[in-house]
Amino acid sequence: SLRNYIRKLLDETLEEKPSKSSKELVERKEFREIIRITKESKVEHPKISRIMSLVSQRIDSNPDSKIMVFAQYRDTCDLLVDKLSTISNAKVEKLIGQSKGGLKQKEQILMLDRFRNGDCNILVSTSVGEEGLDISSTDLVIFYEPVPSEIRTIQRRGRTGRKNDGEVYILVAINTMDEAFEKTAEDKEEKMRSRLEKLNYELSRTVTKPADRGQLNLETFLKRSD
């Protein structure tokens, strides 16, 4: 979130050797104004309330549902865990990678076991949940923001509906980079699909024929062998 980003910048300036860019940025009067506005503002991103609504409806209709929420940044994951934990019957866990003080592999495995066993019914995840980990199928997948990669989009979407019908929601803020990322992913996926269809068509037309250079059929060959 913006508040966390501001806090990190301020912390950087207190380091023994702060970066020149961070120091110059926090000294600008515009930055001080941003700090003042964020302190006074209690406005919450509408995506948060939308996710709260989607998750609440799903759990109310089926308490045994398994839900995954993907977010690009750990700070966003932290916020979502705090918010979603206030929902009745919500058992929320956070799945993040191993780098920079993240979860160790054993911790990831234990958390995934809890998700599979139903001890946890909502998993808030960064990109670590997209591939390479054995995660059981989910009923609902929510993208906090779109990603410009068609591969990552397909991998995230593939987490739901493996056994039964599932739902996927991608939250896009109008007039932001979200729209550009969504369009990029859609275009790339369409190109990939088109290439695969073309390749499949070309392969289906390819027929391997035996060489016809006086080759004997089996019956003639056996007669001559006698």
Residues 156, 66, single domain; the answer is yes
pTM, two decimals, is: 0.67
Over residues 45-81, the pLDDT tens digits come to: 899 999 999 999 999 999 889 999 999 888 889 999 9
Among the candidates 127, 153, 170, a domain finishes at 170
Residues 130, 145, single domain; the answer is yes
Q: Which spans in the chain are helix H?
A: 2-13, 20-26, 29-40, 46-61, 74-84, 105-117, 150-157, 177-205, 218-225
Residues 87, 143, single domain; the answer is yes
Over residues 111-130, the pLDDT tens digits come to: 888 988 889 999 999 877 66
User: Does 215 fall in a domain?
Assistant: no
Residues 59, 146, single domain; the answer is yes
Spell out the long-range contacts of 150-157 with Cβ–Cβ below 8 A and sequence spacing 24 or more.
150/185, 150/188, 150/189, 150/192, 152/127, 153/185, 153/189, 154/189, 155/130, 155/131, 156/70, 156/129, 156/130
| The predicted structure's pLDDT at residue 213 | 58
Among the candidates 120, 151, 170, a domain finishes at 170
The residues pairing with 206 across neighbouring beta strands, listed in sequence order, are: none
User: Does 192 fall in a domain?
Assistant: no
For residue 143, the enclosing domain spans 46-170
Q: Are 32 and 64 in contact (CB under 8 A)?
A: no
User: Does 149 fall in a domain?
Assistant: yes
Q: Which residue has the tokens 């398994």?
A: 66
Percent of the chain with pLDDT over 90: 22
Residues 125, 14, single domain; the answer is no
User: Does 69 fall in a domain?
Assistant: yes
* Residue environment code for 35-71, b if the CB has 16+ CB neighbours within 10 A, otherwise e: beeeeeeeeeeebbeebbebbbebbeeeeebbbbbbb
Residues 74, 157, single domain; the answer is yes
Angle (nearest 5°) at CA 165 between 164 and 168: 130
Among the candidates 125, 144, 170, a domain finishes at 170
Q: Which of 149, 136, 146, 163 is nearest to 67 (CA)?
A: 136
| The predicted structure's pLDDT at residue 55 | 97
Tokens linked to 104 = 């160790």
Residues 154, 59, single domain; the answer is yes
Residues 84, 156, single domain; the answer is yes
Residues 95, 31, single domain; the answer is no
Residues 50, 139, single domain; the answer is yes
User: Does 220 fall in a domain?
Assistant: no
Residues 69, 113, single domain; the answer is yes
Q: What is the CATH number of the domain that holds 156?
A: 3.40.50.300
User: Does 219 fall in a domain?
Assistant: no
| Total of domains in the chain | 2
Residues 99, 136, single domain; the answer is yes
Angle (nearest 5°) at CA 182 between 165 and 59: 35
Over residues 193-214, the pLDDT tens digits come to: 888 888 888 888 765 555 555 6
